Amino acid sequence: MTSESEEKIKKAFNEKSWNEIKIEDSWRIFKILAEFVEGFEKLGRIGPCVSIFGSARTSPDHEYYGIAEEIAFKLTQLGYGVITGGGPGIMEAGNRGATKGNGRSVGLNINLPFEQKANQYIDSDKLINFDHFYVRKTMFVKYAQGFVVLPGGFGTMDELFEALTLIQTEKIAHFPIILVGKSFWEGLVKWLKEVMLQRHEYVSISDLDIFSIVDDANSAVEIINKFYSKYLLSPNF
């Protein structure tokens, strides 16, 4: 644990007066509200988009970077815009592919003390910087017609399971969730089936149909296209 982390822990347990707590909470509410307002105003005009998630640590020469870029490009050719977390790695690849396809390229960046800064492929009027993860995740879900999830770490898993939970509990419509990279996801899926489902029955068998797993860009894009074609909808809806 770093000295900075230790200081944060100590600070969290510092005694504060009731007045100090009220003032801090009031300002926090206004900051959160401001992020929601900016997000709703900017994203309410972007049209149908697909959110692409994955690791910020994926290098441009990695296979998954190329797949993410190709998926984004192909989506723009069908009329979809692309939403990413706005940072490097898979997020950059998504924005890069969208820009290459002359499509809408949206970046929902999060201010972090390390690793994250906005990439250069985001449309200048479609970059939003957030301080709060939960506001940012609301925007990912509210304005996306599908999720494409490439390999990543805790942040990617957080975004994936947020979407899965909202669909499972019927808080949002059942839009496509596509996991890309079978070799990466097969261990997780096996655990979901053998431990979470069969051993403990913490989920239903139908819950495992919420997502699909593919290995290439064409398959990912085809799932999204088929889903909306079934309802006679195209990206101008």
Mind listing the pLDDT tens digit for each residue in 44-92? 999 999 999 999 999 999 999 999 999 999 999 999 999 999 999 999 9
Residue-level pLDDT at 74 = 98
Q: What total number of domains does the chain contain?
A: 1
Per-residue pLDDT band at 237 (split at 50, 70, 90): very low
Residue 229 has pLDDT above 80, yes or no: yes
Domain membership flag for residue 182: yes
Domain membership flag for residue 169: yes
Q: Please tell me the distance from the alpha carbon of residue 180 to that of residue 98, in angstroms, as a whole number.
A: 18
Domain harbouring 181, CATH code:
3.40.50.450
pLDDT cut 70: percent of the chain above it: 91
Domain membership flag for residue 63: yes
Contact 46, 80 (CB under 8 A): no
Q: Please tell me the distance from the alpha carbon of residue 28 to that of residue 94, in angstroms, as a whole number.
A: 32
Domain membership flag for residue 4: no
User: Smallest Cα–Cα separation from 126: which of 162, 94, 164?
Assistant: 94
Enter the tokens of residue 100: 């290459």
Domain membership flag for residue 8: no
**161 backbone dihedrals φ, ψ, rounded to 5°:** -75, -25
Question: What order of strands is seen across the sheet that includes strand 127-130?
Answer: 127-130, 105-110, 81-84, 49-53, 147-149, 177-180, 211-214
Domain membership flag for residue 224: yes
194-226 per-position pLDDT tens digit? 999 999 999 999 999 999 999 999 999 999 999
Which residue segment(s) compose the domain that 207 sits in? 17-230
Q: Please tell me the distance from the alpha carbon of residue 10 to that of residue 4, in angstroms, as a whole number.
A: 10
Enter the tokens of residue 202: 């913490």
CA 9 from centre of chain: 29
Domain membership flag for residue 235: no
CB-facing half-sphere around the CA of 50: CA atoms within 13 A: 35
The DSSP element (H or E) to which 27 belongs, if any, is helix 18-43
Q: What is the mean pLDDT of residues 9-21?
A: 68
